[in-house]
Structure formats: structure tokens, C-alpha cells
Amino acid sequence: MAYNITLIPGDGIGPEVIKAARIVLEASGVKINWEIVEAGEEVIQKFGTPLPNYVIDSIKKNKVALKGPITTPIGTGFRSVNVELRQTLDLYANVRPVKSYKGVPSRYSDIDLVIVRENTEDLYAGIEHKIGEDAAESIKIITRKASERIARFAFKLAKREERKKVTVVHKANIMKYTDGLFLECVRKVSQEYPEIVFEEMIVDAMSMKLVQVPNNYDVLVMPNLYGDILSDLAAGLVGGLGVVPGANIGDKEAIFEPVHGSAPKALEANTANPTAAILSGVMMLKYLGESKAADRVEKAVVKVLEEGKYLTRDLGGNNGTVEYAKAVIDAME
């Protein structure tokens, strides 16, 4: 069986890291037919938008996409390609596993948690406006439907991956209606999963705890803005965004992508670290039900990182993107 998958190379370092992920995934033994579509800065002049309709159509048709980072143009009317994709396709769950890897310089060595972020509302709903010349207002939207849906996603993920605890992150002590509703919904859903430990944590306290004792946490579920911030904080605990994969998942479609940015003009050719892109591909394989292939790729990445012979510059080595990807392929068993 071959899978039809949309491939979005992205901007900046996107095409390089996605190419590396592509050749690694193809070497895993899983047959994939890639439908390559372009989005981002490079297509604005041609289509008048960084997100042409045919990209959305491709994802709807294939149901699964592997995507590189895309630069959001500054000073234009288009807010964000990522936000538009999430809202248009109702990709309500943003999933970011954060894991320690031997060979990656970091302050910790035993972190293994997953941040589950509600992806479609909160302050990222984009409802904001100016009030005269000296004030602006942004409206925070929290609904029962979206809150229960993301809570159930988090508990199902915990059960499926045999994780023991789900922590809801909120600020309901101050935002009693919005975050209060979110907290109420997660509490309600938690009762359906008595085998999973459930706890509550105010977002500022969670920020401190993630720095102090990150290995105390397993699955964290939270509204959109907190998830955006804390997932980057958590990435800093394991070596940075270069080793953290991500996924945006809905009931019908899913997009897998590294969580780092496009780094336009920041790097020379063939120097970008493709670890996050490859691990995003691992998440994609698991989503497709190709668990054995996913395990082969992840173990190969772990082996290459531990051995330290073919690392990119940001990881302390002097090898290129392509050399790293080839080392991962050679390490597959």
C-alpha cells in the first residue's frame, strides 16, 4: 500500500530539512506518493497570497501533510499561514512531544512529556481592533465544544501512549469565565478516565515547575496562547526547537511539521538541523499506523545523536543537513 501525502517544502531552511525528512521516510520502507505544493513567501507574487487554495485542496484530498516552516510576511494583511491552515481545516489539536536525547546539549536528561494545545480559539481567534488612537482590544474566545474536544484528545493520547498523568494548565483564578470554562470542561472529561491521574496547574506556576522539575510531568493540556508559549519553553529544556517535532491534528486531516521557524537568510546551504523535521515524520508514520517504521526511524535518530559523528553545527558537529540524513538512513536496522 502507498500513502498519498501532501508535501509543503516551506520557506528559508524549510526545503532543506523537509528534503532530509523525505529521504529518511522513504528509506523506512513505507511507500509514499508525495504531492508537492508550494506555500509561503515565494508564491505571493504569483498568487497574491502565501496560501493558495490548491494547497488546502491537496490536504483535504490526501488527509495528511508534511510541512516545512513558512515565513509570515510582515506588514501585510495575511496574519499567519499556520493559523489559517488550523482554522480552515479545523486542526484543533496541536501536539508537541518534548523529549531528552543523549548527545543533545541540554540542562536535563530525563524529560519525556507531551504538550497538547487547543488550536482554534482563545486570543488566537484574531478578534481584535483599535479603539480610537490610544487603545486596542483583543477578544478571548473559549467554548465548551472546543474545550471538551481538546481535553478528550489529551486523555485519549495519554491512554494510547500509556502515560500516567494529565495536567491542565489555566489562569482561572483571574480569568474566571474564559479559563474557568476551560478548566470546568477538562475536569468533566477527566472523570471519564479514572485510571489517569489528573491535576490542575495555574500557568505561571507551571512555567516555574517546568524549569524546576520538568520530569514530574507527562501530558499537559491548555488553551492556545499558553500552549504556544510553554511549548517553546519546554523545547528549551531539551536543547531547543531544532529537536522538537509537532503536529496539527483534526478529525479529518493532519499536518506534521517541525516547530522551529524558517530562519530566512540565517544559515548557509546544507547546514540546517533536520532532526525536528525527521521526528515530525516519525509522528506522521505513527498517525498512519506504521508504528514499526516509525520506531526504526526514531531509533536511528537516537543512535546518530548519541554517537555524535554526523551532527550539524547547532548540535556541536560540523556536518551538513544531507550528511546527517544519510547517517540516519545508515543507522536504520
The size of the chain, in residues, is 333
C-alpha cell at 31: 511507500
What amino acid occupies position 268?
E
Handedness of CA 149, 152, 156, 162 (dihedral sign): positive
Q: How far is CA 257 from CA 268, 317, 331, in A?
A: 21, 24, 23
CA atoms within 13 A on the CB side of 208: 4
| Residue 110 falls in the annotated catalytic set | no
Active-site residue, from 19, 99, 171, 286 = 171
CA proximity to 7, closest of 257, 328, 290: 257
Rg of the chain over Cα atoms, rounded to whole angstroms, equals 20
Active-site residue, from 57, 204, 251, 330 = 204
| Residue 228 falls in the annotated catalytic set | yes
| Residue 124 falls in the annotated catalytic set | yes
What amino acid occupies position 64?
V
Active-site residue, from 11, 122, 218, 228 = 228
Handedness of CA 1, 247, 299, 303 (dihedral sign): positive
CA proximity to 21, closest of 313, 289, 272, 265: 272
- HEC secondary structure over 53-69: HHHHHHHHHHCEEEECC
What amino acid occupies position 133?
E
Bridge partners, 64 (sequence order)? 254
Q: How far is CA 230 from CA 42, 103, 208, in A?
A: 31, 24, 11
CA proximity to 96, closest of 295, 298, 283: 283
Active-site residue, from 124, 217, 226, 310 = 124
> Count of CB atoms within 10 A of residue 291's CB?
10
* Catalytic residue annotation: 124, 171, 204, 228
